[in-house]
Chain A
Amino acid sequence: EDQVTQSPEALRLQEGESSSLNCSYTVSGLRGLFWYRQDPGKGPEFLFTLYSAGEEKEKERLKATLTKKESFLHITAPKPEDSATYLCAVQPGSSNTGKLIFGQGTTLQVKP
């Protein structure tokens, strides 16, 4: 069964304290792995797509990496405005639709 697990469920950091969020996945073939940011009561905001093991992408203080079984979202020197829930999703290769399977998210709080 295709599955995505994110850890930790919640993370509290001090401003400037770097850390990583983990996304482990089990999927029958991987078309793509996606990272989204979601603010309370709003829709997910697209961050990155990764397609193959070894791929990395960066955007400001965020860097996403991918292996054959997991992805990491590294946050360097976070600021309070980085506080949000970060969602990881996979698109199974077995599906001919755009179905995304999401993890439950990691809620990040960055304190000044």
Chain B
Amino acid sequence: ETGVTQSPTHLIKTRGQQVTLRCSSQSGHNTVSWYQQALGQGPQFIFQYYREEENGRGNFPPRFSGLQFPNYSSELNVNALELDDSALYLCASSPSQANTEAFFGQGTRLTVV
């Protein structure tokens, strides 16, 4: 158990809809990163939040956005869902921006139909 919890665990959405995924970071961790993992692939970095500010972004369009709250929990929002957004979305928390030894949650499986 890493102490990083994500909700929901599974979700089915229709193309064009919007979705919000949630992550509670491990106690004492102030940095949260989000990753997208397509089937059979390694995770891809979406963005990182440090002390409520976005601190780095991967190659994802603006319809992927996020928030971090004062308790360091985080949300990932995806607008105008596309079929290719179907994936496992992973949240990782770490004690600092350097992300040394980041710990992952169990993920949210999003299916877009």
A45 to B1, CA, bound (A): 9
Q: Is B44 an interface residue (CB 8 A)?
A: yes
Check A31–B42 contact: CB distance below 8 A.
no
Chain B residues with a Cβ closer than 8 Å to the other chain, count: 33
For A103, the chain B residues whose CB sits under 8 A away are 42
When A41-B109, A44-B90 are in contact, do A100 and B104 touch as well, CB less than 8 Å?
A: no
Mark the stretch among B66-74, B78-86, B92-100 that contacts chain A.
Answer: B92-100
Check A98–B104 contact: CB distance below 8 A.
no
A36 to B104, CA, bound (A): 10
Check A98–B98 contact: CB distance below 8 A.
yes
Chain A residues with a Cβ closer than 8 Å to the other chain, count: 26
A105 to B42, CA, bound (A): 6
Q: Is B25 an interface residue (CB 8 A)?
A: no
Task: Enumerate 28 A-B pairs (CB-CB under 8 Å) in ascending A order.
Answer: A42-B107, A43-B2, A43-B105, A46-B101, A46-B103, A46-B104, A87-B42, A89-B42, A89-B43, A95-B56, A96-B55, A96-B97, A98-B31, A98-B48, A98-B96, A98-B98, A99-B48, A99-B58, A100-B33, A100-B43, A100-B45, A100-B92, A100-B102, A101-B45, A102-B35, A102-B44, A104-B41, A105-B42
Could you tell me which B residues sit within 8 Å of A by CB distance? 2, 4, 6, 31, 33, 35, 40-45, 48, 55-56, 58, 88, 90, 92, 94, 96-107, 109
